[in-house]
Amino acid sequence: MSDNHVSRRDFIKFIGIGTAALVGSATGAVKVAEAAEKAGEKAKTDFYHKFSGKPPFRPIQHSDRDELVLPSGFKQDVVVAWGDDIGNGEKFGYNCDLTLYFPIEKSSEHGLLWVNHEYVGSGALFMYDASTPEARKYEIEQYNVGGSVIEVKRVNGKWTLEKNSKFARRITANTMIDLTGPAKGDDAVAGAVEVKGTFANCSGGKTLWNTALSCEENFESDAARWGRNGTHYGWVVEIDPFDPASKPKKHTALGRFAHENTAMTLSRDGRLVVYMGDDANDQFFYKFVSEGKYNPAAGKANSKLLEKGILYAAELGEGKWLPLDLELSPKLKEKFNTQGEVLVHARDAAKLLGATPLDRPEDVEVHPFDQTVYLATTNNTKHGNFHGQILRFKEDGNDAASLTFEFEVFAVGGPQSGFSCPDNLEFDKNGNLWVCTDISSSKLNQNNVYESFKNNGVFFISTHGRNVGEAYQFASGPRECEITGPDFTPDGKTLFIAVQHPGEETTDPANPTSRWPYGDIPRPAVVAIQGF
C-alpha cells in the first residue's frame, strides 16, 4: 500500500489544516469532516483522486479450494482455532465472528483481541456423540458460545497467541451479566436486573473508551432449547477486555432485536451515536443517540451514556429517523405501557411507526473521512434480491444526530460486480471499504444463482475517486465458511479476520467437507494477514 497509503493526518496536511484537531478516532473523524467541508469539495475530490481507487493488491479469482487464498505477497498466520488453550485454563470457543484489536501501549504488534463465538450448529458433530446426556450436551454448547479475550503478539514477523496472558478470559452462555437502561427490572424482562449469559454473538464494534460491544443476533432457537427467557437476549453487550474481573453489561437502551453490529461515532455537539442493523428479512435500520455528551477524559465512565438516550428506526421514503420513545411518538402508547416494553419489542415499535423494512440490514460502518454511513443489506431471496446491496447514508448537516437523511445505493451485488451477499464491512485508513460476503453455506457451489461466486471471500471497494464502487477480490475462504470480523491494526499493516463455519455442511464427522486449517477436522479460526 506504500504508494497510496494515507491517513487522516495526511488528509489534514493535504487540505492545509493543522494536526492539532486530531484527538481520538471518532472525534478526529468529526474534525476531519469539518475541515474537509471548510476546504471545499474540490480539495476533497482531489484528495480522493490522488489516494483512492486502486486496490493495494493484485486481485484473485473466485476459488472453491479448501484454503484461505490471498493475493501474492500476503502472508497468513492462524493465531487461534477452536479448542485451543488461550490461557487461565480456558479454551477458544466455536464459530468465531467479530474480532476487535485493542492495542497494548498503543502497539500495532501487541494487543488484546475480543472475539465473538456466535453459535455451535453442525460443530456439535465434533463436540459430542448421540449418547451424550442432554444436560452435558447443553453444557458443552453453552461453553462454546459467547466470546473470548486473548492476547496476541507479533514476534519475528509472525502473529502468535500469548498463552500465559493475565487477560485471557471466556464469556459464555452462563456468565452473569447486568442489565442497564430502561428495560432493567421491567416486567417485560420478567423483572430481571441481571441475566444469565450471552450467545448468538454475531458482530459488534468498539466503543470510544476501548471496550467491546458484542451483538446478540439469532438467539431464539438456542434460548428455546436451553429453556431461557428470550427477552434476556437480543441485546448489545459491553465487555471490558482489559479488566478480567469486570462484569459485562447489556445496554437495553439500544433495543432488542437480531443485532448484527454497532458503529459508534459522535454528533456535532458531542453526543454518542450508535448505528445498528437488524439482520432479518424485512427488518429495520436503527441508531441510538445518547442524552449526555462524550467526555474523552472520563474514559470508561462514558459507558453510562449507553444507558440513556433515544433509539430511532429509519424511514427511507422521506429520509426520517423515527423515535422509538413513548413521549416523542405517542402512537406507541396504543401498544406499550413502559419504555422498557418498547425497547424489548423494538421491532414491533418500529413497525408500528412505519419504519422501512429492509433486506437483511447487517453490518454498518461510518466512513472515517466524510462521516457517511454504509449499510450492507445482505439479501432477501423472497423479494428476488439474491445478491444484496451496500447503501450509503448521508445525515443532513453531516450530523450523526440529525433527524433526517438522504441515501443512495453505493454498490450492488451480482455477477456484474463479482461479489454477492455483502455482510461485514470495514474501512481501512485510506477510506477504502473491505467487504466480507455471506452466501449461505447450504447454497454455495450448487447449481443456483450463487454458483459462479464459489466460496465466500473478502472484497475491496473504493469509496471515492476513479474506481468508486468497483469490487476487487482480496481473499477466498475455505469451503462452506464465511469470513467475518475484519479489523485492521492501527498502523493498517495487519488485518485480523475470523473464518467462521468452515465445513458447515458436514453430516459425517469422519468425512468432513472441510479440513481447514490443520488438515483434520474443520476448525473456525482467527487469522492475521500481513502484506499491506
- When CB distances are held under 5 to 8 angstroms depending on the partner's kind, the choice from ligand FEO, Ca ion, none that residue 100 binds is none
Identity of the residue, 379 or 402, whose beta carbon is nearer to Ca ion in the bound complex: 379
Identity of the residue, 118 or 307, whose beta carbon is nearer to ligand FEO in the bound complex: 118
Identity of the residue, 70 or 276, whose beta carbon is nearer to ligand FEO in the bound complex: 276
Q: Given its phi and psi angles, is residue 316 left (phi above 0), alpha (psi -120 to 50 degrees) or beta?
A: alpha
The three-class DSSP label of residue 439 is: coil
Identity of the residue, 362 or 399, whose beta carbon is nearer to ligand FEO in the bound complex: 362
Distances (CA, A) of 531 to 15, 43, 74, 402: 29, 30, 5, 39
Query: Closest Cα to residue 108, out of 429, 436, 434?
Result: 429
- Among the listed ranges 43-51, 118-126, 333-341, 421-429, the one in contact with Ca ion (CB under 5 A) is 421-429
- Please, what is the minimum distance in Å from the beta carbon of residue 421 to Ca ion? 8
Q: Are 525 and 80 in contact (CB under 8 A)?
A: yes
Distances (CA, A) of 81 to 212, 218, 219, 250, 395: 21, 23, 23, 27, 40
Grid coordinates representing 337?
A: 405501557
- Please, what is the minimum distance in Å from the beta carbon of residue 424 to ligand FEO? 8
Is residue 79 classed exposed, middle or buried when 0-12, 13-18 and 19+ CB atoms within 10 A define those classes?
buried
- Among the listed ranges 24-32, 115-123, 153-161, 417-425, the one in contact with Ca ion (CB under 5 A) is 417-425
Grid coordinates representing 510?
A: 469422519
- Please, what is the minimum distance in Å from the beta carbon of residue 439 to ligand FEO? 12
- Please, what is the minimum distance in Å from the beta carbon of residue 124 to ligand FEO? 18
Q: Are 143 and 172 in contact (CB under 8 A)?
A: yes
Identity of the residue, 362 or 504, whose beta carbon is nearer to ligand FEO in the bound complex: 362
What single letter denotes the amino acid at residue 308? K
As a whole number of angstroms, the distance between CA 26 and CA 267 comes to 10
Grid coordinates representing 525?
A: 479460526
What binding mask, one character per residue, do residues 23-62 give for Ca ion by CB under 5 A, x or -?
----------------------------------------
- Among the listed ranges 166-174, 180-188, 197-205, 323-331, the one in contact with Ca ion (CB under 5 A) is 197-205
Identity of the residue, 197 or 368, whose beta carbon is nearer to ligand FEO in the bound complex: 197
User: Per CB under 5 A, does 315 bind Ca ion?
Assistant: no
Identity of the residue, 167 or 233, whose beta carbon is nearer to ligand FEO in the bound complex: 233
- When CB distances are held under 5 to 8 angstroms depending on the partner's kind, the choice from Ca ion, ligand FEO, none that residue 238 binds is none
Binding residues for ligand FEO, per CB under 6 A? Answer: 118, 202, 217, 260, 279, 362, 423
Q: From the CB of residue 327, how many other CB atoms can be counted at a distance below 10 Å? A: 10
Identity of the residue, 424 or 432, whose beta carbon is nearer to ligand FEO in the bound complex: 424
Q: 51 — phi, psi (to 5°)?
A: -110, -15
- Please, what is the minimum distance in Å from the beta carbon of residue 279 to Ca ion? 7
What binding mask, one character per residue, do residues 422-461 give for Ca ion by CB under 5 A, x or -?
-x--------------x-----------------------
- When CB distances are held under 5 to 8 angstroms depending on the partner's kind, the choice from Ca ion, ligand FEO, none that residue 186 binds is none
Residue nearest to Ca ion (CB): 438
Identity of the residue, 171 or 266, whose beta carbon is nearer to ligand FEO in the bound complex: 171
- Please, what is the minimum distance in Å from the beta carbon of residue 118 to ligand FEO? 6
- Please, what is the minimum distance in Å from the beta carbon of residue 262 to Ca ion? 13
Identity of the residue, 60 or 497, whose beta carbon is nearer to ligand FEO in the bound complex: 497
- Please, what is the minimum distance in Å from the beta carbon of residue 469 to Ca ion? 22
Distances (CA, A) of 513 to 61, 62, 84, 263, 503: 22, 19, 21, 35, 5
- Please, what is the minimum distance in Å from the beta carbon of residue 528 to Ca ion? 20
Q: 44 — phi, psi (to 5°)?
A: -60, -50
Residues in the chain: 532
As a whole number of angstroms, the distance between CA 284 and CA 278 comes to 6
- When CB distances are held under 5 to 8 angstroms depending on the partner's kind, the choice from Ca ion, ligand FEO, none that residue 118 binds is ligand FEO
Query: What percent of the chain is helix, strand and coil (3-state, nearest 5)?
Result: 20, 35, 45
Q: Are 454 and 439 in contact (CB under 8 A)?
A: no
Grid coordinates representing 362?
A: 447487517
Per CB under 5 A, residues contacting Ca ion are: 202, 423, 438
